[in-house]
Amino acid sequence: MKLCVAQTRPIKGDMARNRAKHTQCIELAVSQGADLIIFPELSITGYEPALAHELATTPDDRRFADFQTLSDAHAIIIGVGLPTPTEAGVCITMALFHPNQPWQTYSKQYLHADEEPFFVSGRNATLLVRNQPTIALAICYELSIAEHAQRAAEQGAEIYIASVAKTAQGVEKAFQRLVDIAGTYAMTVLMANSVGPSDDFVSGGKTAIWNPAGRLLAHLNDTDEGILVLNTDTQDVLAKTL
């Protein structure tokens, strides 16, 4: 299997231009034979909590039809980040487009205190990717919550993919934590981070992949957009920039 994590530079609130960049990354991933691609946290809108209520939408929004078309055409699972509305409020969500199947959502369950004025916690039956029962998803702050990784392991996850929007300092802390998760649970770990301005900070990039022993296999830099593609059979990683 080939797993891909993308590193993008979201444009604040500009869903049209951000979707176009997603398409570029997806097409690049497809050219490398990827079976799944995961984007950073709130990748469609940018990490902009103050705009979340205004921009909140659902995966069946017609503006996302191209993602389903690409998924169907190339047999690739596509995971994009967007704010979604619920009766309780707006969730930070990963929308997953599956080939020739209904879409799936995973919403962030553990919020950072700074997010609580803007978002509500997700209520999910599972954190596993449908039809890929060994893959668990985490969204940013969740990777720092011990119970989250433990639950993933208890549900049988062999792969843990974190979709984040973190500063350079935040990335350093995330690296340490993700090494621990990989080693503790013998899971392959991937992280997709953004670059450029986000809310009141600058995202630090360094999208990365670790093997089940916690060894860093590869990472991108802190400025360029691109993808990493992991071959889970050989543990080889290919890096491509846009």
Sheet with 128-129: list strands edge to edge.
Answer: 128-129, 132-139, 159-163, 188-192, 208-210, 216-219
The sign of the dihedral angle between the CA atoms of 143, 97, 230, 187 is positive
At 50 the pLDDT is 97
C-alpha closest to that of 196 among 4, 12, 14, 3: 12
The per-residue pLDDT for 132 is 84
Question: Which range of residues forms the domain containing residue 17?
Answer: 2-241
Distance CA 71, CA 66 (A): 8
Q: Take residue 39 and report the two structure tokens written for it.
A: 């984007």
Q: Residue 95: how many CB atoms within 10 A of its CB?
A: 24
Contacts of 102 (CB under 8 A, 6+ apart): none
Number of domain units in the chain: 1
CATH number of the structural domain spanning residue 225: 3.60.110.10
Which pLDDT belongs to residue 131?
A: 84
Q: List, for the chain, all residue ranges whose pLDDT scores fall below the cut of 50.
A: none
Q: Determine contact, residues 119/90, Cβ cutoff 8 Å.
A: yes
Which pLDDT does position 86 carry in this prediction?
96
**Nearest CA among 201, 231, 210 for reference residue 33:** 231
pLDDT on residue 27: 98
